[in-house]
Amino acid sequence: MKLKNALGVVIGSLIASASLQALAQGQGAVEVEGFAKKEMFDSARDFKNNGNLFGGSIGYFLTDDVELRLGYDEVHNAVGEDGRNIKGSNTALDALYHFNAPGDTLRPYVSAGFSDQSIGQTGRSGRNGSTFANVGGGAKLYFTENFYARAGVEAQYNIDQGDTEWAPSVGIGMNFGGGSKPAAPVPAPAEVCADSDNDGVCDNVDKCPDTPANVTVDADGCPAAAEAVRVELDVKFDFDKSKVKEESYGDIKNLADFMTQYPSTTTTVEGHTDSVGTDAYNQKLSERRANAVKDVLVNQYGVGGERIESVGYGESRPVADNATDAGRAVNRRVEAEVEAQAK
């Protein structure tokens, strides 16, 4: 299996698809990384010492969790039994499955794929080529939404020779773009007066037969009296998470429907955290939570972004006791409210 010929084409395609936005990792994101490996050669190779490998990779997130990664590295410091230096290169194509959610600080992963290796000895003609099946695992630690450090280990089975080698590795990388839009259930719209025969008059009520169509009505089918109406939103988050949970989409949709019904309204989405962690980290986490709810309102439910302001308050505005698990769970939240004059 020869992967090197496709290296330039695939890297070019992935770079062209990157979006240079400061968003959380997720579907559509591109990650580039520089890394170092320690190749633990199988004893059948008769090498005096193991090799140091240095290279780079580029990956594209097909989903929030699945990344396709293309890597290239070169072999250094390996020495044969005759004292001659071993030189060569590896080209690998792997798929990675990440755990936790985009935007989380720690994202463990498992990987599987194939690699092609070509090595030779200094002063000798000819090279040895081998194809490997790779499996591995590790974790990425995100210092920010766009920069991370990685540590992992791979088992490499030599398909051509039938032996297995190991390669622990570390790397530093950066992330561009990403962000997904999960689906959510659609609740029933608010009841309005129906005009099935298109005569301009509400036809599904008895007490107010002259009510115009498309007007919000009360239980009797009459136009609702003008009064102040409001919707409040309180979205809870798991510890150290900024991903909106599926059970919160219905409440966010209710607020979006209200803002659609009253198009002159605006709102401020406020993010909060519990007291675990530093002030600086919690400030960033609260901002990510507020932006996550705003993203659902704008991209999932079509509310204009200019009508929504997002702000994070970190741990500075608790509503419950941070000394207890229950209190901290209440404080990990995003709040918003909208008020309008109903007619």
Higher pLDDT, 111 or 74: 111
pLDDT of residue 102: 84
* pLDDT, tens digit, 9 for 90 and up, residues 265-274: 999 999 999 9
- How far apart are alpha carbons 293 and 95 in whole angstroms? 30
Q: Cα–Cα distance between 37 and 39 in angstroms, integer?
A: 6
Sorted by where each begins, the domain ranges of the chain are 4-176, 182-224, 227-342
Helix (H, G, I), strand (E, B) or coil at 290: helix
Measured CA to CA, the distance from residue 232 to residue 251 in angstroms comes to: 9
Q: Vertex 234, ends 233 and 235: CA angle to 5°?
A: 115
Q: Is the pLDDT assigned to residue 214 strictly greater than 60?
A: no
pLDDT averaged over the chain?
A: 81
Q: Is the pLDDT of residue 315 over 60?
A: yes
Q: Is the pLDDT of residue 116 over 80?
A: yes
**End-to-end distance of the chain based on CA atoms, in angstroms?**
70
Q: Give residue 119's pLDDT.
A: 79
Domain 227-342 has what CATH class? alpha beta
| Cβ 163 vs Cβ 46: under 8 Å | no
Question: Can you give the pTM of this predicted structure?
Answer: 0.47
Euclidean distance between CA atoms 309 and 266, whole angstroms:
8
Give 183's contacts (C-beta < 8 A, 6+ positions apart). Answer: none
The CA distance from 2 to 117, in Å, is 9
Mean pLDDT within 315-334: 94
Please state which of the ranges 59-63, 197-201, 284-288, 337-341 shows the lowest mean pLDDT.
197-201
Q: Give the residue with greater pLDDT, 34 vs 124.
A: 34
Report whether pLDDT(230) > 90: no
Dihedral (Cα; 39, 45, 48, 50), 10-degree rounding: 0
Question: Which CATH code of 3.40.190.10, 2.120.10.80, 2.40.160.20, 3.40.50.620 fits the domain covering 4-176?
Answer: 2.40.160.20
